[in-house]
Structure 1
Amino acid sequence: MDKKGARRLAKESRALELAEREKNFNRAKLWQLIFFPAGGFSQGVFMGLMMLVSYYAAGIVGLGTVVASFVITGTRVFDSITDPLVGLVLDKTKGKYGKVRPFLLAGFVLMSISTLLMFFTAHLAPEGIKLVYFIVLYLIYIVGYTCTGVANLSGQAVLTNDPQQRPILGGFQTTYTTVYFAFFGMYLSLYLVPKHQGFNNVSLFHEFVITTVLLAGILVILGIIAVWSKDRAENFGTGEVNRTKFKDMWKILKGNRPLQLFVLAAASDKLALQTQSNQIIPVLLYGIIIGNYAMHGQMAMPSLVINLIMIFFGIRYAMKFGTRKGYISAVWGCIITYSLLFFLLWLGDPSQIGFDNLGFMTIAFVILILAGPAFILLSSGLTFPMIPDIVDYETNRTGRFVPGVISATYTFIDKLVSSLSQTIVGLVLAAIGFRVAFPDVDTPYSDSLFWAAMFLNIGIVIIGWVISLLVMKFYPLTKDKMVEIQAELTKKREDNKVS
């Protein structure tokens, strides 16, 4: 057979395979796989803004570093409590606008109102009510954040049940994260900070919150459009009526082994990564240890390219071998690169790092600081498809389609654990003398700041990844297992239609 005939045969084979998948699975269009994660990432846009809230609360509102850290931690504990409530309401919602769309919209509205009021008025409140006023606005923000998060995870179970498509959702979600936070770094370090002369000028937060609300609004509209045709009863599990109650959350967690393992792995990762992603960490690494905070922004475009390449090949790998195997490979990449980064900064001279000094230190640092976050984004992106897989496992096991409760059970424990992240940062820095204000780009270098940065940026994440690797050895939802589960669910849906 000539090459032309072989290509035609391969094309026909792919067409037959696609037709078979269309028959066996509830598949989404490509544009839906692109747009829906955008709506979910509106939550990430607000998160970028709130990464700076400790600077605003401590330096402008005047709460102090330790008080600000404990307030943010306490409100995140409240955040974990809102998840099961929102999840239950979502699962019981069966209106003409579906389950997912109302919660995406409500989340955006609540986050927009609360952040606009917070950054424009909290520092103007009377001294006697300033703390209470800030906390109330933060709690409203949390409710909105929860609505968007639960809707995003639940919507993935509604949009497609094809094990081959679900990694694509995680890939696009991670792509949006990559692109946004690449420009976030440039926007912050090359534009906002120089324009407003540091983090202690309230005009910086005024401009940032307006930009955030406008961008998130566009993303939410895209997400709602994408899920519109799928957000209906025929795509809600087996078609049976679910009567889930609050007490059922414990039964689900107790009986769902994959959920237990996933929660343990993801929660340990989240605690570490949320601690590492605190905006104070690049200030410590680039501004103080290396002595060149502008380099943080200069790394943004190279990071964007490497991250997108990593996502492209990583997601294709996961589509072929399954989400579980792809996640494990990405975590190993994280451990190796960040271990090498630690030894480089510890044994080498970080002051030699800079684009005006292209020696070993600079080249090795750039390679590792590009590869490490790329592996992090890939591993994080591959956690998203695990939630709808666990939802389908639960539906097959018990007959209950409860994406809201599954998502909320995970996020409840996840947030309860990760709520410690701001406290960890605050306590570590307070322990080395920063009790009133956090270190800034002008803070002099010291050994105590170096080791604080190494622990917060590298040590804590390696601990989280090791836990994840141990847990994933027992995670049962491989690619073949999910194909088997979808076949069983299809049969149950057909049986319910007949009966």
Structure 2
Amino acid sequence: MNSQISYNRAKTWQLICYPAGVLGQKLFMALMMLVSYYAAGIVGLGTVVASLVITGSRFFDGITDPIVGFLIDRSKGKYGKVKPFVISGYIIMSVSTVVMFFTTHLVPSSMKLIYFIIVYAFYILGYTFAAISKWSGLAIITNDPKQRPVLGGIEAAYTTVFLSLFSMYNSLYLVPKYGGFNNPDFFQEMVLTVVGIAGILYALCVAAIWSKDRMENLETKSGSSEKVRVKDMWQVIKGNRALQIFVLSVTSDKLAMQTHSNQVVIVMLYGIIIGNFSMSGQMAMPAIFVNLLMIFFGIKWARKVGTKRGYVAATWGCIITYALLFLLLWLGDPTQIGFDNLGFMTIAFVLLMLLSGAFIFLSTGLVSPLIPDIVDYETYRTGRFVPGIISTTYSFIDKVVSSLAQTVVGLTLAAIGFKAAFPDINTPYSESIFWVTMALYIGTVMVAWIISVIAMKFYPLTKEKMLEIQEELNARHEQSKANHVVTDESKTVSLN
């Protein structure tokens, strides 16, 4: 029976190009993960104020999500639901980040804080446009259960290559060139690089979904074409169990990962505890190959057993490897870690970091296929095709929760004495820095992964359930076509 389902499949080049939009988004995200250094050390806002402003901005980011998601689901324009928001988002992010890093430190001191907040708010609006439309497009570009994990795998592969190259670009090129993070020229070169490369990536994303993102396609291949009302958002949240479990699992992970991957935490781990910040960049190249191997075999396995089971297995891999990593750093001597000292500590650290990173990328790659599955489940459950509401519900809660990450980092470091500026590669080692780093880098993610494993036990969309859903949606589509006859080239008469 499964072979009779008429799937809306994407072409190979579309599967390759659409995730490029995610890479463009991650470029801007990586840039803005360094904004705390700019705001605190160059603009002069201080660590606590800068952290609170960034937290407030992410909370505002979450507030804008329902508005944008609502607009996407109500959009009926000839340019579709995704393309206009992706293009607008890129333009707004580009303009706002260039203005931010080229001008904020030049503004009079009395106006710096309000100026920074306003420019940051414009960036958040553009980021929301691009992010929500990208998530919504996942349900449009393909509904084939075998293609969706592939789409997530390609996204994860892009991400691992990007993060490795970005780490090398940052630690091996920009930091040595400008002497650290307290030079405006550091950020100005980075922002111009990000804007240029992201423009190419977003163009590939738009090209991939261009032919599918048309209203005539969406209204016939998906659910109801009725207008989406504000009250529908609450109905989706209240009635969709899969969405509830997904949000609990993934947002707890996101809060932890935002804290774990904060650039200040990375500097403390590599630059202070290990005493060799350049090693974070040196790890990047081997990480590319290990991550790609894990993604290739992991996604291949997930296609057979289902996205849910693959995600849970990858999360268990994260838990085990990070538990071992903590024991290594706690019981061993981190200063012995380095590629110029290939002893037990270096070999064990490198292996655990590479393996744990690969499991993280695999679990992240399997998040994207879960979202269009939940969109289809909502259509199956209610007959309504609302990718914007599904995407924005996840994104709203995710951003409100993860907005706390910078505040957690800022307040934690202020508590051990770093109130004027964040620790950098020249900060001396201390026991307090070690335990704060362990808590922020390892403790937060361990708690989140345990929550995810428990939550996913109650997630209803198994491989078998998704096959049932696609069969039902396909049957409804065929029935809808059978209930209409074409009387001439311009009119369609319903037999209902």
TM-score normalised per structure 1: 0.95
1:280 aligned to which of 251, 264, 280: 264
2:234 maps to which residue?
250
1:360 maps to which residue?
344
1:187 maps to which residue?
169
Matched, 1:174 2:153: no
Q: Which runs of 5+ in 1 are unaligned?
A: 1-15
The total of aligned residue pairs comes to 481
1:235 aligned to which of 206, 215, 218: 218
Q: Secondary structure at the match of 1:434?
A: coil
1:152 aligned to which of 116, 131, 134: 134
1:303 aligned to which of 268, 287, 308: 287
Q: Secondary structure at the match of 1:97?
A: coil
What CA distance in whole angstroms lies between the structure 2 residues aligned with 1:230 and 1:86? Answer: 20
Is residue 84–residue 246 contact of structure 1 (8 Å, CA) maintained in 2?
A: no
Q: Which amino acid aligns with 2:234?
A: W
Deviations 1:49-95 (A, max 9, x none): 00100000000111000000000000111000110000010011121
Percent identity between the two aligned chains: 63
1:491 maps to which residue?
475
2:491 maps to which residue?
none
Is residue 108–residue 144 contact of structure 1 (8 Å, CA) maintained in 2?
A: yes
Deviations 1:264-297 (A, max 9, x none): 0001000000111111122111100011111111
2:9 maps to which residue?
27
Question: What pairs up with 1:32-431 in 2 under 5 angstroms?
Answer: 32-233=14-215, 234-236=217-219, 238-431=222-415
Deviations 1:420-448 (A, max 9, x none): 00001001111111111000001000000
Q: Secondary structure at the match of 1:491?
A: helix
Is residue 223–residue 379 contact of structure 2 (8 Å, CA) maintained in 1?
A: no
Q: Which amino acid aligns with 1:163?
A: P
Is residue 223–residue 384 contact of structure 2 (8 Å, CA) maintained in 1?
A: no
Deviations 1:208-236 (A, max 9, x none): 00000001000000001100111123235
Is residue 242–residue 401 contact of structure 1 (8 Å, CA) maintained in 2?
A: no
What CA distance in whole angstroms lies between the structure 1 residues aligned with 2:263 and 2:244? Answer: 31
1:446 maps to which residue?
430
Deviations 1:14-34 (A, max 9, x none): xx99xx47x521110111011
Deviations 1:334-368 (A, max 9, x none): 00000000000000011111111111111000000
Q: Secondary structure at the match of 1:385?
A: helix
Matched, 1:472 2:453: no
What CA distance in whole angstroms lies between the structure 1 residues aligned with 2:280 and 2:95? Answer: 31
Is residue 23–residue 162 contact of structure 2 (8 Å, CA) maintained in 1?
A: no
Runs of 4+ in 1 over 3 A off after TM superposition: 235-239
Q: Which runs of 5+ in 2 are unaligned?
A: 484-493
Q: Which amino acid aligns with 1:235?
A: L
| CA displacement at 1:238 relative to structure 2 | 3.3
